[in-house]
Each structure stands twice: as structure tokens, then as C-alpha cells.
Structure 1
Amino acid sequence: MTVTNDIKYIGVNDHEIDLFEGQYIVPNGMAYNSYVIMDEKIAVMDTVDQNFTDEWFAKLETELAGRTPDYIVVQHMEPDHSANLANFMEKYPTATVVATAAAFNMMKNFFGKDYADRRMMVKEGDTLSLGKHELTFVMAPMVHWPEVMVTYDSTDKVLFSADGFGKFGALDVEEDWACEARRYYIGIVGKFGAQVQALLKKAAGLDIQIICPLHGPVLTENLGYYIGLYDTWSSYGVETDGVVIAYTSVYGHTKEAAELLAKKLTEKGCPKVAVNDLARCDMAEAVEDAFRYGKLVLATTTYNGDIFPFMREFINHLTERNFQNRTIGLIENGAWAPMAAKVMKGMFENSKNLTFTDTTVQIKAALNDASLAQIDALADELCK
């Protein structure tokens, strides 16, 4: 695949993977992207996962057409991108590896060598001329590992964005970009919003016409749309007006309350209501919803003096990703000593800019007149 006249795509599609990073369901597989810039000197931009060594080298050799690469740029050391670095350096003994100091330290851990005699260590603003193309290296620490950098080609106005602007899904499957990019961003990068904001500020000073990420499609049109979503996600802003209801239920009474609330919200004209059964849904999808919408209702049972395990897991996912700037409503169920609302609220004590509704729904085993009235009141509050 041709990105520009001089930049070629040499990535691969993985349809064998079931869980990305050991936890994210990827029904449409995954893409590991790599690129080669053909100029007076040749630079390869990252490698691919170890399961695709032969396919990747075959694609690279086709583009090289008998030439030898001069550089390999390592933007990110995660093994799905760097696994073939040692193989590359062995195959092309005259090539130089270009990376940050932190990346070279990681190479020692991954491969037992840091290529001290064959390396170009770069820092913020350093450049590399390939002839017609000049690359500028922009540091992006903790987006989402400490060694990350991105690379800007001022000739073709291309940003090689590392894991930024990536998404789940192989490139030979057509699907909406935003849904799987959002789930990817929130799950993997979401904790590091401040660092992404810092990178976006740097990128604002560049004339970017193409974005080449390490996962997902090359972005060539409507870049303002993608950058705008990244700005919203990384600033923890509300992307879509609506309410997410996330619940766990043992005997069905809490589920009944959650579904009744959803019905009332819809009747009152709430623009979007998403309901997630945390014991059965894809947890990453539920987390994505919580970050997408402006209001969240948590409904669970008191369990061993605490809360039901799936709810605890869900809230942990939220807080470790810096969940903030949202309104939260609580529904608790407890047959004799309801504790769930207190426990849930306490789990957010270190979170920023959260507003809890005045109404907390308390169910004592099953819905009754009092708890039904509280659901009405909670629906009214959420629809204000």
C-alpha cells in the first residue's frame, strides 16, 4: 500500500489474536503497522509482532527492491511493534537504530543489547535527513510508555503517531473508526490524558496532512475530526449527551431497577441511554461508555459488606484511568444492611470534578413504593 510516493505501508493484519494485550476482545483482529520511507537513504518506521516476521520481511524486501535500509526508527518498544528489531539489525548489519535514551534501555532488557555501536539517540526536536525527506522527532513520554516518541516528515507532511490515533481491528475489515478507536484509547491510553494533551499542543504547531499510526488505518481526510475526538478524550470531556447505567444483579431486583430507570429516562427524552450488565458485557465496552457520556448510574448489591465483584472491577477501571468531569447517580440493594452506595462513593474519593446526584435509590431486597419514588426522583435529576 502506498501512503505517498515515497512512503510505503508494510504492516500486517492479525486475525488469530483473540485478546489484545491479554484483555481486550478484538473480534475483527488487529493491525500492526510499519512503514518504509524510500529516499537517498531509507528509513523503516517500526517493526511488527513476532508472529509475522516472515510476512513483514517479505513486504519490506519487495519495497526495497534490492536496496539496503539505512535506519530503523523505533518509536515505541512494546513487543507488538519492536519484536523484530533484533532480527532486522541482524539481517541488515549496516543499519542504524534511531530511538530515545529510554528506548535503548528497554532494548537491553528485551534483546540483551542496546546497539551502542549502531545507534542514533534522539531527543526533542532532533532531525534526520534522508535526502528529500527530513524527519523531526517529537518526544511523547507516557503516551503510553515512557520511551515513546512520534516522528514528523516535513516533506510529505506526515505524522508517524506511534500508538496515538490507533484503533482495534485489522485493516482488511471495514468498520466505524470512532467506536474501536475510542475503546482502544480509553482502555490503553486513557490514564495519560495530560500527556496526550501535551502532545496535541506540540502537534498543533505542525502542518499535518496524513497520520500514520501503529494500529488502525492511515488517516488522510477530515483530520480535524480525529484530532478533535482525541482532544475530547484526553481532556476527559463529554463526547455525547446521555446516561450510562451500569449494574450487577444477583436475583434480578437490581436489574429491574436499572431497566426501570432506563425506561423512565427514555420517556423523559434523554437523548441516549446505554445499559450494561457488568457480569455479562464486555467490560471494556462498559468503560468506553462511561467515558463517552456525561452521566453515569451505578447500581449494585451489597455483597460481603462490600459491593459485587464486577462492580468493584468496573469502578477500578474508571478510577485508574482518571475518570472525572461527570455526574454519578447511585442505586444500592441490600436485604438487611445496605452498604453499596457508601462503598461506591468512597471508591471515587480521589477522583476529580465528580458530582453525585442528590437522590440515591435504596432497595431493601425488592422494589417498593419508597424505592420506586426514588427512581422517579433520580430520573428527574438526570434529565435536568
Structure 2
Amino acid sequence: MPSEAYADAALRGAGFVRASSIQPRGAPLMTGCPALDSLMGGICGGVTYLFSGAPAFLDALLHNILVAGCSRGEVAYMNNTDYYGTRSEISPGRIALIAKQNGLDYTAVLERIIFTAAYSRERQPWAAGALERAVRESGRAALIAAHDISAFRGEAGEGSFEMDLVASSLWRLASETGAAAVFTSRDRRLCSSLVLDLSQVAVDFRSVKGGVRATLLRHPDRATPASALIAFPENWHGGDLMGRITPPFRQSYQDLLGSLRGAYLPLMRCQENRSGFELLVRDAWDREYAAMAASGIPIALDVMNLTANAHNRGEIEALKRELAEKEARIKALEAKVAALEYRTPGH
């Protein structure tokens, strides 16, 4: 038996499991850039990513990633911007445009972004702390992002301590919540050793004629280095670049059903409730699948709840009609009995 198998057996015998075995599973978030998604496999929960280089492209990419995260839940976003030098910021207008292009309610998307900003290295730990508190109050996050985390790193290394505080804080928060963590940097060489070490997936971008060259430098499951060319549309100036970021509804629906059956249903204490869930699958969700897929509601669970409510209301109305019919028959029978009693001698 290989040494790793012995280690696994020992861990199980002691009541432990490997962290990799409980890593959140589910459909990865798509960046909307097919070449990049093919290169690295999308963005998975519980994994930390570092994207570096080509600042204009990084801005466009991060906008798409934020919207993709909002299609799953809340997104925690920290901006690091030196307004006296290089600026990096998100545009609500661009967020709204990408949301609309992907059939999402842009107001709901904007409401799901928790935003903090640091305008100096001294404020970086404060901004990261504020973001962490907001996520813990919310109780969940689909994505945690720090844009240009190395913005305040100086040539002499100043700013490294604050950068490390931000990276460790957000990495820990992402690990605890099962969210994906995304760090960006306009120059990989400005990142501290800790940021590089925490990043399980690292992709560096370099501008080339007609697009950018994406190089996969680090990945737990793929051969590195590997690269892909991301071609820009003609006359591109930093606007609409990406493709679809939301997975097909069928995929989201089936993934959610599988997750609920695996982790939610077995913990239900009432057998009737478990049976009720499967009845919803059979009589409501599967039957009304076409309507759910065409609803335009991006969160599968939301449209499933809506459909379940409509199904339950329909059942209630059917029972009300049945009860009214039975009450009418009972009243008719009572009238007949009263008439018979009236005709009976002695009444």
C-alpha cells in the first residue's frame, strides 16, 4: 500500500479527513473568456487565484468575475487604489452592462457586491477587516476579491506587511466560507512571497498584438507552464470583451438538486418532509422545467422556490374547490334529509 494510502487510512481511523476531500464541489464560475476558462478550468470554491499583468485586461476580467459571482450569491470586493498613481476601480455602469448581457437583474447584482476600498497601505488592513466583518454578518459569500492587492508595494519592500495582512485575512475568510478568493496585481513581481504561496492557481497576462497571452504558472491539477492566446475584438478599448459567464439553467438546476440530495435531505428528521421534497421534484420542478428555464431568474434556488410556491398555491386552490364541492353535496344531502323528515308522519 502506498504511503499516502497508509496516511489516509490512519487519518480515517483517528476520525480525520483530508481537507481536499471536503473542498466545496459544484460547477466552477466561468470568467466569460473561453480560452482562459479552458486553460485553468474556471473558478472553483475554496481555491485562491492570482491574476497578474495587463492591467486594462485585468479590469475587464474582474468585472466579469464579479458578475459571475453575483449569480451565485454575495460578492466581497476590496479595491486597492493609489489615486496619485495607477488607478484600479470597478464601474457600476460596466457591471450593469455585463449583468444585462447575461440576463441578470443588474440592480440585484449591484446590491450583492460588498465593497471596501483602501487608498493607502495604512488603510489596507482596516479595509480588509471591514470586508471580513461584513461577510461574517452576512454569513456567506460566493466570491472574495482583492483588486490590485500589491498597489502600495514600494521598491524597497514597503507595504509588504500590510499586503500580507490583507492576503492572510481574506484567504482565511474564503477558506472558512468555502468561497473562491481572487487576488489581482498589475505586476506579479510586486506580490509578496505570502501572496504567491497562498495562490493555488496563478495566471500571468502579457499584452501582445491583438490580445493578451495568458500563462498558467501554477495549478494543483494541470501541467504548468501552459499558455493560451486571448484575442481581442477589433477596435477593443476595454469595453465588452467576454462571453457568457452564467452556466446553463439545466446545469445549475441539476447541480443544486444533487447538492440538496447529498447534504440537505439526509439531515431532515421528518420522513414526510423528505417525501415532500421528492414530490416537489416530480410534480413541480421537473414538470415546470421549461417555465423555470425561461424565467430569467439567475439563481436556480430562487426560481425553484417560486415554482414550489406556485405549485403549493395550486394545490391549495384545488383542495379549496374540492372542499367547496363536498360542502355543496353535504348541504344538498342535508336538504334532502330535512325534506324526508318533513314528509315522515309525526313531523
Instruction: State the structure with bigger RCO (CA 8 A, min sep 6), 1 or 2.
Output: 2
Which TM-score band (shorter chain)?
Answer: under 0.3
TM, length-normalised to structure 2? 0.22
Which has the higher Rg, Structure 1 or Structure 2? 2
TM-score, scaled to structure 1: 0.21
Whose strand proportion is higher, 1 or 2? Answer: 1
